[in-house]
Each structure stands twice: as structure tokens, then as C-alpha cells.
Amino acid sequence: MEFILYEVKDMVATITINRPKALNALNSQVLEELDATLDAVDLNTVRCLILTGAGDKSFVAGADIGEMSTLTKAEGEAFGKKGNDVFRKLETFPIPVIAAINGFALGGGCEISMSCDIRICSENAVFGQPEAGLGITPGFGGTQRLARVVSVGMAKQLIYTARNIKADEAYRIGLVNAVYPAEELIPQAEKLAVTIAKNAPIAVRNCKKAINDGLQTDMDSALVIEEKLFGDCFETEDQKAGMGNFLEKDKEKKLKVVPFKNC
């Protein structure tokens, strides 16, 4: 891999987009390597992913404008599909994905962060969908996901104006869950990931699926999705261990990390 770093520690894998000279812009090769990296994640040992960018300036400064500038219509469509497929793979990845946004998250950079379950950022992060100024629409799901993550009116304002916003505003509108000094971002992402990883893996996966799938449908159908995924947790070792510890009323044991089996 030329542009992706992959590291596993304490049931948490960190994927770093490593193209700092171009502020980690997404070209075809980055997208292909990211796709292959996701396919290779060992879901028996990894329970949470962190996605970040190399360097201290940029998470992802968007799709590669140099590469895009010469695309034909057909090539543009193929590039869009490549991005959309890998972003969707992240969004529907069986385990939670935390975007640790360490600087610019523009265009495709903002969009890839919105394919993740949780977004936290450093104080120097900058978000925006500058596409309207470049003569295109957001092409990696920005028109759809931004309107689902923040209010519709706010999404429209950001996209129509192509205006960038800083970390504090991103926090205020709910685009990110927390803002940290740059040096604390990765430790905080790891702490959050470990907290998630300590919970029952089948339950966490089913929660992700229930939330994602339920948001795509009406409430009655969504509750049926939840019932099914709730039911699927029963008779698993995770459920037996989790509830068993509580019922034993052994406070020490209850607080202890339950040795949950992987799915």
C-alpha cells in the first residue's frame, strides 16, 4: 500500500490516509487501497475502526482536483462510483467507524467523514463542500448525508454557499461530536474506540445496523428491524455473559470487562 497505513491495537484498528503532500486528497489509487484495506480487516479481532489523515494539517482535502480535471463524462461517472462504493462500504461496515478529523475535511473529505458513524475533530479542523464553486455538485454523497447529519436548511446553506466552517461551528451544528486540541485527538479517538470495543460485539454491530437500516424507512418498519436485531442477540454468549454478570450481583465482576466472544 502506498497511501494507506493500517495499525491494530487493543481491538481497535486505525486506518490513516497517507498522502500528506497532497493534503491526503482522494485519487483513484487512494480509493482502491482504502477499499482493499477495509476488505482485509479481521472482524474476529477488530471491534472498532478509526479513520484519520496523515500529518497535522489535513484529514482529507477532497477528491483529487488534478485527477478529476481531465475526466470525461464516463470517467467522471466511474470515479464517482468508485468513491461512492468505498464510502458506502465504510457506512455499512459491520463495526463502528470513528472519523478523527485532524484538519481540512473539504468536499470528498467532509463526505468521507459523514460515511463514518462518529466524527470528532481537532481545533484546526475545517469543513466544507466547495463543489458549487468548482462547477460540480458534491459527488460522494454530500447532498444526501449532510442533510441527514445536520438540519436540511444548514446543509443547503453550506452546499449552496460553498463556505468553509471551523471546528467550533461544526460542533455547534452537530456535524462533529467533540473538538479536541490537536495532540489529544488520536488519544481521545482511541479512548472512545476502546470503550466501544469493550461492549458486546454482537450487540454493538446490531445497534449499528438497526440505526442505519431503521433511518431508511418508516417507524413501523424500523421497529420491526429493531425487533429482529434485538432477538438475534439472544442465545449468544455475549448476551449470556452480559446479563449473567449483572444477575450475579457481584459488583466487582459486574465492573470487570466481560470476555465477550467475537461474532
Helix axis angle for 28-40 and 73-91, nearest 10°, is 30
Contacting range for ligand DAK; rule: CB under 6 A; set: 6-14, 133-141, 151-159, 172-180: 133-141
Residue 63 in the binding site for ligand DAK (CB under 6 A)? yes
Q: Identify which of 66, 58, 185 has the alpha carbon closest to the alpha carbon of residue 118.
A: 185
Residue 54 in the binding site for ligand DAK (CB under 6 A)? no
Residues 6+ apart with CB under 8 A from 226: 210, 214
Active site residue 2: no
CA dist 84 and 111 (Å) reads 10
Q: Identify which of 168, 152, 157, 149 has the alpha carbon closest to the alpha carbon of residue 211.
A: 149
- How many other CB atoms are found less than 10 A from the CB of residue 145? 20
Q: Which is nearer to ligand DAK, 139 or 201 (CB)?
A: 139
Q: Which is nearer to ligand DAK, 108 or 242 (CB)?
A: 108
Q: How far is the CB of 243 from ligand DAK (least distance, A)?
A: 46
CA dist 110 and 105 (Å) reads 5
Q: Which is nearer to ligand DAK, 62 or 201 (CB)?
A: 62
CA dist 246 and 95 (Å) reads 25
Q: How far is the CB of 234 from ligand DAK (least distance, A)?
A: 42
State the catalytic residue, choosing from 67, 123, 131, 227: 131
Q: How far is the CB of 6 from ligand DAK (least distance, A)?
A: 23
Question: Given candidates 28, 35, 80, 230, which one binds ligand DAK under the rule CB under 6 A?
Answer: 80
Number of residues that bind ligand DAK (CB under 6 A): 24
Residues 101-130 that bind ligand DAK (CB under 6 A): 104, 106-108, 130
CA dist 171 and 241 (Å) reads 37
Question: Are the C-beta atoms of 261 and 238 separated by less than 8 Å?
Answer: yes
Question: Given candidates 140, 171, 180, 260, which one binds ligand DAK under the rule CB under 6 A?
Answer: 140
Residue 132 in the binding site for ligand DAK (CB under 6 A)? no
Residue 158 in the binding site for ligand DAK (CB under 6 A)? no
Question: Are the C-beta atoms of 179 and 120 separated by less than 8 Å?
Answer: yes
Active site residue 111: yes
Q: How far is the CB of 165 from ligand DAK (least distance, A)?
A: 13
Question: Are the C-beta atoms of 123 and 181 separated by less than 8 Å?
Answer: yes
CA dist 67 and 239 (Å) reads 49
- Give the catalytic positions in this structure: 111, 131
- Which positions lie near ligand DAK, rule CB under 6 A? 22-23, 25, 61-66, 68, 76, 79-80, 83, 104, 106-108, 130-131, 134, 136, 139-140
